[in-house]
Every structure is written in structure tokens, then in C-alpha cells.
């Protein structure tokens, strides 16, 4: 999700940046668009880390459940 948002924001910012012809436009790029791109990129990285940790937790829980079933003698 954040990859798509980042890609779209980067394209829009690039299109705007190409049309900048004065200091006001340059300030919009520097003060608005670049910080937005950095925030979205940070969210993208945070989301990827969250997804990886969630996967790792699920894997560990599944391993613990399999040990519990083996110890109890119960079969599925």
C-alpha cells in the first residue's frame, strides 16, 4: 500500500518539480513535497518492518502450538 502511495507521490512531485520556475515553487518543493515524500517513505519502511515482525511472531506461535500438541499427546 505505501509503495503505491510513495510511487504516486514521487511522480506527482517530479511533475511539479519539472514545472517550477521561481523561488515560490522551489519553496513548495523543499518545504512541502520533499517532507511528504520522506514521511511516506518512512511509513513504507515501518510497514515493511511490521509485516516482517508479524510474520516472525506467527511463525514462532505456530511452532509453540505444535510443541504444545506434541506434549499433550493430542493429535489433530
- Residue showing cell 514545472: 19
What are the extents of the domains in the chain?
2-72
CA 22-25-31 angle, to 5 degrees, is: 135
Q: What is the pLDDT of residues 31-62, one digit of tens each?
A: 999 999 999 999 999 999 999 999 999 999 99
Which of these, 11, 17, 19, lies nearest to 32 by C-alpha position? 17
- Percent of all residues in the chain with a pLDDT value above 70, rounded to a whole number: 89
pTM of the full predicted structure?
Answer: 0.72
Residue 74 has pLDDT above 80, yes or no: no
**Mean per-residue pLDDT for 3-11?**
94
Amino acid at each position: 500500500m505505501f509503495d503505491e502511495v510513495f510511487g504516486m507521490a514521487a511522480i506527482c512531485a517530479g511533475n511539479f518539480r519539472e514545472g517550477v520556475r521561481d523561488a515560490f515553487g522551489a519553496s513548495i518543493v523543499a518545504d512541502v513535497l520533499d517532507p511528504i515524500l520522506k514521511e511516506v517513505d518512512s511509513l513504507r519502511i515501518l510497514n515493511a518492518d511490521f509485516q516482517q515482525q508479524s510474520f516472525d511472531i506467527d511463525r514462532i506461535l505456530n511452532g509453540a502450538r505444535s510443541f504444545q500438541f506434541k506434549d499433550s499427546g493430542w493429535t489433530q
